[in-house]
Amino acid sequence: MSVVTNTTTIGAIELPSRRNTELMLLGFAVVIPIFAYANVGLAIDGKLPPGMVVYGLALAVVAGIAHLVVRRFAKYADPLLLPLGILLNGLGLVLIWRLDQSVRLQNLAKRAYGGFSESAPNQMIYTALGIALFCGVLLVLKDHRTLQRFTYISMAVALVLLILPIVPGLGADVFGAKIWIRVGGFSIQPGEFAKIVLAVFFAGYLMVKRDALALASRRFMGLYLPRGRDLGPILMIWAMSLLILIFENDLGTSLLFFGMFVIMLYVATERTSWIVIGLLMSVGGAVVVASFSGHVGARVAAWTDPFGCWERGGLDAGACEQIAQSIMSFGSGGVLGAGWGQGNSDLIGFAANSDFIFSTVGEELGLAGVMAFLMVYGLIIERGVRTALAARDPFGKLFAIGLSGAFALQIFVVAGGVMGLIPLTGMTMPFLASGGSSVLANWALIGILIRISDTARRPAPAPAPSPDSEMTQVVRPS
Amino acid sequence: MNKPLRRISIFCGLLILALLIRTNWLQYVQAEELSTRKENRRVQIAQYAQERGNIIVQGEPITGSAVTDGSDYKYKRTYVNGPMWAPVTGYASQAFGSNQLESLEDSILTGNDDRLFFDRTIGMFTGEKKQGGHVVTTLNAAAQKAGFEKLGNRKGAVAAIDPRTGAILALVSTPSYDPSSFAGNSKADEKAWVELKDGADKKLVNRAIRETYPPGSTFKVVTAAAALEHGVVTEIDAKTDTPEPYFLPGTKTEMKNHSGGCKEASLNEAMRISCNSVFANLGDKVTRDKMVETAEKFGFNDDKIDTPVRAFASVYDKNMSKDGNALSSIGQFNTAATPLQMAMVAAAVANDGKLMKPYMVDQLTAPNADTVEKHKPEEMSRPMSAENAQKLQAMMVNVVENGSGKKARIDGVTVGGKTGTAQHGEKNSKKPYAWFISYAKTDKGSPVAVAVVIEDSSADREDISGGGLAAPVAKAVMEAVIKSQG
């Protein structure tokens, strides 16, 4: 790096804003789900689905508003994030609508609850609310660094959010996992929002403490071991994620939080020892809990031998059947899939449109479709990591990597769960699964990433004109 | 902080990569295994997702499909005259699987067969729904009906084949069942299935090809063929050296006859009045190994007689003692035969010693009736020379004309036959089986050979019951075939 730098020339180059690229991509992101919707309707009823025009217009309007807000308030933002979100959300709506048409699921609901209500209209409303939240984030959060101020408040909020489901009278135990709260007629999954709030806390905390954590350590067996007093917060997070696991039976959320924390810790301190310590702690915790908790034990049994434990019957048979059915969904889909609306992924039962919605992709779109979806998710993660790389402030870097890391872990945990790669954890596939909390939280997440990327890519403000620059001839040493 | 960021991005990439590998493993490597697992309901759903092709007898389908509501399966199988045709079709049930032709030709019937690939591809472009192909059988509706009605309420079976080709003309098994009664998956279907499965009558068993019985005196035809083929007897009207009483070789057990005149009786006469002593003696002289040789040429001890539904192996013991062989020569002891096997014996005699391989699927066709596969009659073996076959024909005609098989006589047609009453159970405590095997011959050759077995016949005197009970059934079947073939 040369000491002699003429900063004035940089200001003259205007970075392209890429807003038109985004608009074009949005066009694809709206048209593809509309075709998918038409396809499902033709496959199931032999005619174009009712309300196709309304659906198409609604999606286009929502996407258009989001685009205008980005154009106005986050001009230099990453152009891919919004179209990818719209694409996934639109396809998710089609998948949910498709499962609404399943006679098998309708009968199942009628037998169990005495009635069946469609999920797609609700999901449509949640999508609109999600985009509204996305716009709200961009409007209110002019600079992500203002969130630094709320470091410790975020911690308190996150703790409250996580504890809510175990508060008697508020929490709802659904299929063995206490991760919902019921307010009025709505059920909310606080864990989805806690993900973002916790990222704020971790980023703020680690930015301040990174030097202490990175430098004040002793070398032991090739690893830099932290001082005891620095280990405190980490132990606290570890204990908290274990408590979530034990009291809420929520393997996914606890894994997600701890994983996110370890990633952010590693990025903040640049010390591999944190990864080793984090892995040891999570493995230790998981083993201990798995051997005591029946719920987690059942999930592990269902993972190792789904068909065997389904056949043996007993208490776990339900969980095992779901996994076995899901794996068969993927297998029956084969390379090209059965086609939209022509599979039988609804054999999985109740969770077909939430936890197991990815199995429908597997069966109806086949290997090709699953890989395409995974690549779309991969692109979102990649844009997130790129945003972290580009961010100029440590808080923004940590925040962006925390959110994208959590997103990646969530994809891995959910998709890996339904594909039988890892034990099922009962989380939702972002943007695809039916459920308001998930859609809202993930749109907020995209909104924040867009805000950080806007700040990161925004050209540096032009410096005050320097009177010398016109006259001085710079001679660079070669 | 960018170095760890790059590593994290690699880590995230690895997570996605792991998912990509997993999905390739599931959807490419393991796809076939997962999509055909027994737990995978899609297999049955696809099986019953469109109308199944039909099983056809003389141009008329004996099966059909009906739309069902409120279940995963769109169509269910229906049967025309189910109980009568059940031994031919088998069943195809949404809940309880399928068997026999329904199972063996499933790929054609569902339209999934690779040979129908072209039809499916055309259908994909013309927008036609996938259809199943058809199975065209060799059966003769009139013969089947005659056998089924004549057996009536009695427990028994009929197998009829065309001796010239081996085409199976009738397969009757009573008491029968209606495969329609459990073709769906409702509670009523389940009840019907459980009753059939656990019932004492064993209605689900196809007695014509999947149950073996001691063949009794009908086996004497095989013994006679062996005696002629191996040169023990050359002249059928010559006296044999059979003493009266005759003791089983190496024992003091007397072989009883049920009629007089068996002392030194000729082969022809012994056949007519069904002398046990003469045939036991001949079987002993032929020796066990040569008896086995001839019996196996007729199809005994062969566990791979596929029509295409596999028939149970009929048995002629290869390792028994001398007295066992003598006793087996009259169709007792360890000897056991399916009705189809005994029809093959009669057919080989009628076809001048040439045994044709039995089959009941003439052709498989595409949904548009184009032939996909056509069966060509094949020769299975030659248990005897044409000359000896004609000698046997003369003896069997004698049985019908002048002996115990009079009830099988048909005006204007040459009929040869042999009666049998097989004892079974401890000390013959159970009621014997009445047997009759026969063939008919017109000026155009022999169009039909039949075997009839009736369990629990009320009378127990040797031959009279076979002749009295089973022969009329055989006659009705033969008449039906002759009439239908003009």
| pLDDT for A11 | 46
Sign, CA dihedral A322-A328-A331-A333, equals: negative
Q: Which residue of B has its CA nearest to A378?
A: B16
pLDDT score recorded for residue A247: 76
Strand ranges in B81-125 using DSSP code E only, listed in sequence order: 92-93, 97-98
Is B112 exposed, middle or buried, given 0-12, 13-18 or 19+ CB atoms closer than 10 A?
Answer: middle
First CA to last CA distance, chain B = 97
* Per-window interface: B 10-69 vs A, CB < 8 A: 11-13, 15-16, 18-20, 22-24, 26-28, 30-35, 37, 39-42, 45
Asked if the model's pLDDT at residue B399 lies above 80, the reply is yes
For residues B466 and B473, what is the distance between their CA atoms, to the nearest angstrom?
A: 10
Higher confidence at residue B20 or residue A184? Answer: B20
CA distance B39 to chain A (A): 8
Residues in chain B with CB shorter than 8 Å from the CB of A335 are 27-28, 31
Confidence of residue A5 (pLDDT cuts 50, 70, 90): very low
Q: How confident is the model at residue B457 (pLDDT cuts 50, 70, 90)?
A: low
Range of the domain at B455: 216-361+378-484
The amino acid at A80: L
- Does A378 contact chain B (CB < 8 Å)? yes
pLDDT at A378 over 90: yes
Interface residue A165 vs chain B (CB under 8 A): no
The model's pLDDT over A147-190, given as tens digits with 9 standing for 90+, comes to 999 988 988 888 888 888 777 766 666 555 566 777 666 677 88
The pLDDT assigned to A35 comes to 95
pTM over 0.90: no
> Within a domain: residue B28?
no
Mean of the pLDDT values across residues B352-361? Answer: 90
Task: Say if the ipTM goes beyond 0.95.
Answer: no
The reply to whether B127 falls in a domain is no
Take residue A464 and report the two structure tokens written for it: 């005050």
For residue B191, how many C-alpha atoms fall within 13 Å in the half-sphere facing its CB?
A: 3
Distance in angstroms (rounded) separating the CA atoms of residues B125 and A372: 27
Q: What is the CATH number of the domain that holds B305?
A: 3.40.710.10
Q: Among partner residues A307, A332, A419, which is closest to B22 by beta-carbon distance? A: A419
Question: How many whole angstroms separate alpha carbon A183 and alpha carbon A321?
Answer: 32
- Is B392 within the bounds of a domain? yes
B285 within a domain of the structure (yes/no): yes
Nearest to A66, CA basis, from A32, A36, A31, A25 = A25
Across B41-55, B301-315, B352-366, the highest mean pLDDT is recorded for: B352-366
pLDDT of B408 over the 70 cut: yes
Is B1 close to A267, i.e. CB distance below 8 A?
yes
Amino acid letter, A7: T
Among A259-263, A285-289, B221-225, the minimum mean pLDDT is found in A285-289
Report the C-alpha gap between B30 and A331 in whole angstroms.
7
A339-367 mean pLDDT: 89
pLDDT bucket at B17, cuts 50 / 70 / 90: very high
- The minimum CA-CA distance between A67 and chain B, rounded to whole Å, is 27
User: Is pLDDT of B341 > 60?
Assistant: yes
What does the block give as tokens for B2? 């960018």
Instruction: Note the pLDDT of residue A81.
Output: 95
Q: Is residue B311 assigned to a domain?
A: yes
Q: Pick the more confident residue, A6 or B123.
A: B123
Residue A2, pLDDT score? 43
Distance between terminal CA atoms of chain A? 12
3-state secondary structure B403-472: CCCHHHCECCEEEEEEEEEECCCHHHCCCCEEEEEEEEEECCEEEEEEEEEECCCCCCCCCHHHHHHHHH
pLDDT of residue B100: 86
Q: Report whether pLDDT(B146) > 70.
A: yes
User: Which residues touch B293 (CB under 8 Å, ≥6 apart)?
Assistant: B226
CA distance B194 to A219: 74
Put simply, the answer to whether B27 touches A268 (Cβ < 8 Å) is: no
Look at residue A255 and give its three-state secondary structure: helix
Overall number of domains in chain B: 1
Which amino acid is present at B385?
S
Identify the DSSP state of B337. B
Residue B224 lies in a domain: yes
Active site residues of B: 217
Residue type, B5: L
What does the DSSP assignment read for B163-222?
TTT-BEEEEEEES---GGGGSS-SHHHHHHHHHHHH-TT-TTS-HHHH--B--GGGGHHH
pLDDT at B15: 95
Confidence bin at A405 (pLDDT 50/70/90) = very high
Structure confidence at residue A465 as a pLDDT band (50, 70, 90): low
Tokens of B45: 């759903």
Pair B102, B109: CB distance under 8 Å = yes
Q: What is d(CA A351, CA A359) in angstroms, rounded to the nearest whole number? A: 10
Q: Pairing between strand B55-57 and B134-137?
A: parallel
Interface test with A, best of B3, B10, B16 (most A CBs within 10 A): B16
Confidence band of B428 (pLDDT split at 50, 70, 90): low
Flag if A270 and B39 touch (Cβ within 8 Å). no
Respond yes or no on whether the N-terminal peptide bond of residue A16 is cis (omega within 30° of 0): no
Contact B27 A397 (CB under 8 A): no
pLDDT at A92: 95
Task: Give the pair of three-digit tokens for residue A188.
Answer: 């909310």
Rg (Cα) of chain A, in Å, rounded?
24
Taking 90 as the threshold, does the pLDDT of residue B303 lie above it?
no
Min Cα separation B79/chain A (Å): 28
Mean of per-residue pLDDT scores for chain B: 85
Q: Is the pLDDT of residue B460 over 60?
A: no
Q: Is the pLDDT of residue B267 over 90?
A: no
Instruction: Please report which confidence band the pLDDT of residue A1 belongs to, taking 50, 70 and 90 as the band edges.
Output: very low
- Split at pLDDT 50, 70, 90, the class of A9 is very low
Is the residue at B121 inside a domain?
no
